[in-house]
Amino acid sequence: MFSKSQLLLLVVGFCLNAAVSGDVDCSKRPPFVDPKTCCPIPEFVMITLKDSCGMLGVTPPPCFYFCFLNMTNIYKNQKLSQNGLNGYMQLVTKSDLHTTYTQAFTTCATKVAEFEANLPALTASSPPPICPEDYLMGCVFRNFMKNCPDSVRNDSQECKDMKEFSTKCEPPLGPSAEEM
């Protein structure tokens, strides 16, 4: 077995390793890096859909994603359509991104449904503060960036630092505090 001194060295080594590899100083934000630099993905919303939904040349209008997701049959009546998602992804992404997008949409559609179920009843005079579809797409983007596929991920130190900080320090945006 181990002597007391060997056991002490082993414990100290584990502690030092955990301190070096696992701790992120959440009070010191790393320099900003555009997420698309770290996970360069193709534009997900086709230009023809941006035009059809009134987004060309302007910032996205309120509920833009409602229009986009309905036109593509990805998400209708607060339900995710795997057929709609798969059909659209075949048009705009390489096959190695499909799994990550599918997982992100599935996870986020569930979270949006949970969020909506916990909202107080809205009256006609109190519209929702943001469209559920906007929450969904924000969640999908964050989830995709967090789980960026190896085939496209940039493993530069600045990207690793940003991912580690955002995973361990930043509270997620949107309706849920988990996996957004």
Structure confidence at residue 144 (pLDDT): 87
CB crowding 54-82: b at 16 or more within 10 Å, else e = ebeeeebeebbbbbbbebbebbeeeebbe
Q: What is the pLDDT of residues 25-74, one digit of tens each?
A: 888 888 888 888 999 888 888 888 888 887 666 566 677 888 899 999 99
Task: Give the model's pLDDT for residue 157.
Answer: 94
Q: In 32-156, where does DSSP find H-type helix?
A: 35-38, 47-52, 64-71, 82-92, 95-117, 132-146
Q: Max CA-CA distance within the chain? A: 73
Amino acid 146: pLDDT: 87
Write down the domain spans for the chain: 32-118+129-168
Fold of the 32-118+129-168 domain: Recoverin; domain 1 (1.10.238)
Mapped onto helix, strand or coil, the DSSP state of residue 91 is helix
pLDDT recorded at residue 49:
85
The H helix count followed by the E strand count for the chain is: 8, 2
* pLDDT given for residue 16 in this prediction: 40
pLDDT of residue 73: 94
> Which residue positions in the chain have pLDDT lower than 70?
1-22, 55-61, 121-130, 170-180
Q: What share of the chain in percent tops pLDDT 70?
A: 71
Instruction: Give the model's pLDDT for residue 126.
Output: 63
